[in-house]
């Protein structure tokens, strides 16, 4: 019998993905329905609904739940269920006007040109986009990649229960990595794990990530290295390259019986603290008891303080989540300690100096970040050996060497060690 945490707000997972004859019949029906085009973010949210990662949601949110999530992290329609980020579907006013409440529509992925599901429309409503952005992202600055997408949404939101028909290309493209919550729970149970710490990754795994995972291995039965394989902003390293790099590190530097790799299809919102809470919700659905929350979790630029994502867990109402955060301090390589360390353990406070050839010049703490790694690699500069394992650097170098067009990587406070970087609003 499984000793894993319960799914969020439910005793069992609630996947909305149809299979077999039921799927075939719904596909035939969908081909005759009016089509609602979806963005890549909406498509990824639909897949998350399909695989049960967004248990216990049954579809895209109505106005009251949208507002409740934005303002109070609650869904009024589900007796105040804790939920940190709205899951919504938008449509142009012209299309929305042509759809009647109670009508069934087909949900169409514009990227793959594929019908992904159907929805019975229960509500049509408009939203205050600035309100959503300020509540969810803490800013309405359109330079923020998440804000940019919300502000670009069409005017009307459509709500309703969905039936999901496809997981798109994820199962094939990321075979061996892509997992549903049911898949992960089955493996955890087979291994006899009851406590599992999820490590959220959207970057290749550098030594700070590995250090956090090793700490979690000491605390929990196992670590779930759970990487995002959905869409990221320009300049981030694509999923197939990240998967290859993470695989190289995990296979050589971890005990295989204490770690499991997985991939999930959600698109990154870069919502910082709020996205950390969403990560907690669906990691609980995956069967994880803990979520590692380190520096600048799900952040971008200087929109959030380096540990805002840890602080927001203090605002979660008691009993709203079974999963618990595993807050870990800023980690780095210390030349004086001769090892990885953290702000809580290392007494040597000077910043390490590295020359243009990647050679150590003096100082103690070499601060590691995915942003800095991407910048060094994109500019063809040497990466210090203490930064990441050679197997990872080799894979990333091959990727950057073969890029036709270089993307400029901008540094920010959380990536350089400035804990007091000015936050944008």
Catalogue the active-site residues. Answer: 202-203
On the question of a cis peptide bond just before residue 56, with omega within 30 degrees of 0, the verdict is: yes
Report the residue count for the chain. Answer: 425
Side-chain half-sphere exposure of 398, counting CA atoms within 13 A: 10
CA distance 50 to 209: 30
Residues 6+ apart with CB under 8 A from 217: 223, 254, 255, 258, 259
CA distance 56 to 83: 10
Q: What kind and span of H or E run contains 104?
A: strand 104-109
CA distance 269 to 145: 7
Can you give the three-state secondary structure of 236-271, one letter per residue?
CCCHHHHHHHHHHHHHHHCCHHHEEEEEECCCCCCC
Please, what is the end-to-end C-alpha distance for the chain in angstroms? Answer: 48
Find residue 178's DSSP bridge partners. Answer: 263
Phi, psi of 119 (to 5 degrees): -145, 140
Q: What kind and span of H or E run contains 370?
A: helix 370-378
Chain-centroid distance of CA 128 in Å reads: 25
b/e burial code for range 184-193 (CB count within 10 A of at least 16 → b): bbebbeeeeb
CA distance 362 to 350: 9
Cα three-residue angle 326-61-100, rounded to 5 degrees: 165
Q: Is the dihedral of CA 367, 369, 371, 377 positive or negative?
A: positive
Phi, psi of 102 (to 5 degrees): 100, -10
15 by DSSP, 3-state: which? coil
CA distance 6 to 322: 7
């Amino acid at each position: 019998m499984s000793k894993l945490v319960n799914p969020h707000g439910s005793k069992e997972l609630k996947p909305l993905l149809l299979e077999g004859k039921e799927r075939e019949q719904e596909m035939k029906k969908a081909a005759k329905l009016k089509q609602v085009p979806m963005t890549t973010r909406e498509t990824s949210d639909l897949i998350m609904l399909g695989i049960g990662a967004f248990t216990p949601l049954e579809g895209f949110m109505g106005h009251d739940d949208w507002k409740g999530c934005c303002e109070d992290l609650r869904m009024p329609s589900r007796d105040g269920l804790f939920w940190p980020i709205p899951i919504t579907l938008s449509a142009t006013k012209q299309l929305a006007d042509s759809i009647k409440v109670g009508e069934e529509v087909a949900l169409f992925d514009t990227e793959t040109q594929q019908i992904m599901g159907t929805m019975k429309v229960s509500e049509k409503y408009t939203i205050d986009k600035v309100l959503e952005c300020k509540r969810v992202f803490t800013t309405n600055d359109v330079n923020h990649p998440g804000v940019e997408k919300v502000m670009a949404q069409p005017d009307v939101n459509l709500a309703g229960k969905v039936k999901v028909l496809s997981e798109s290309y994820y199962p094939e493209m990321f075979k061996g990595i892509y997992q549903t919550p049911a898949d992960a729970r089955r493996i955890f149970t087979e291994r006899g794990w009851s406590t599992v710490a999820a490590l959220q990754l959207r970057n290749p795994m550098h030594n700070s990530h590995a250090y956090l995972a090793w700490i979690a291995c000491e605390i929990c039965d196992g670590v779930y290295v759970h990487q995002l394989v959905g869409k990221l902003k320009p300049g981030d390293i694509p999923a197939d390259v990240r998967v290859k790099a993470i695989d190289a590190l995990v296979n050589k530097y971890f005990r295989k019986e204490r770690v499991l790799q997985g991939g999930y299809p959600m698109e990154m919102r870069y919502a910082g603290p709020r996205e950390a809470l969403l990560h907690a919700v669906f990691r609980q659905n995956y069967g994880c008891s803990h979520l590692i929350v380190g520096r600048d979790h799900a952040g971008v630029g200087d929109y959030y303080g380096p540990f805002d994502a840890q602080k927001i867990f203090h605002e979660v109402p008691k009993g709203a989540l079974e999963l618990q955060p595993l807050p870990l301090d800023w980690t780095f390589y210390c030349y004086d300690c001769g090892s990885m360390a953290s702000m809580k353990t290392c007494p040597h406070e000077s910043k390490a100096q590295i020359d243009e050839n990647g050679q150590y010049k003096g100082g103690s703490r070499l601060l590691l970040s995915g942003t800095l790694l991407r910048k060094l690699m994109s500019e063809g500069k040497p990466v210090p050996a203490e930064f990441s394992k050679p197997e990872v650097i080799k894979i990333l170098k091959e990727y950057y060497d073969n890029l036709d067009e270089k993307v400029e990587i901008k540094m920010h406070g959380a990536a350089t060690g400035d804990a007091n970087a000015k936050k944008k609003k």
